[in-house]
Amino acid sequence: MPVVTMMPSGKTIEAAEGISILRALLDSGENIPHKCEGKAECGSCHIFVIEGRKSVSKIQRAENEKLDTLVGVGSKSRLACQTLLGGENITIEIPSFM
């Protein structure tokens, strides 16, 4: 099971491979915005994948189009609802403006 480390808190959770980062966070009791319930329509679950980017799913068109409309997006930006966990550990940052 991959381990997701959340920055800046350093808290870690274990999650099943193949589920979205959003689902992993919600299942572990973490509070992360998700207004559209995982449809890549709102962008409220914007995160940064700091380490382990090659281990998560590739960005798809709907996610890329939504990220293009958001403020504060960078090369490590992803939507937690669209990013599926691979078999490796990852480190994410949940932006402070959320």
d(CA 68, CA 91) in angstroms, rounded, equals 23
Is the pLDDT at 97 greater than 90? The verdict is no
pLDDT at 10: 95
Coil, strand or helix at 65: helix
pLDDT-derived band at 47, boundaries 50, 70, 90: very high
Question: What is the pLDDT at residue 98?
Answer: 46
Q: Which CATH superfamily is domain 3-93 in?
A: Beta-grasp domain (3.10.20.30)
**What's the whole-number average pLDDT of the chain?**
95
In this prediction the pTM is 0.94
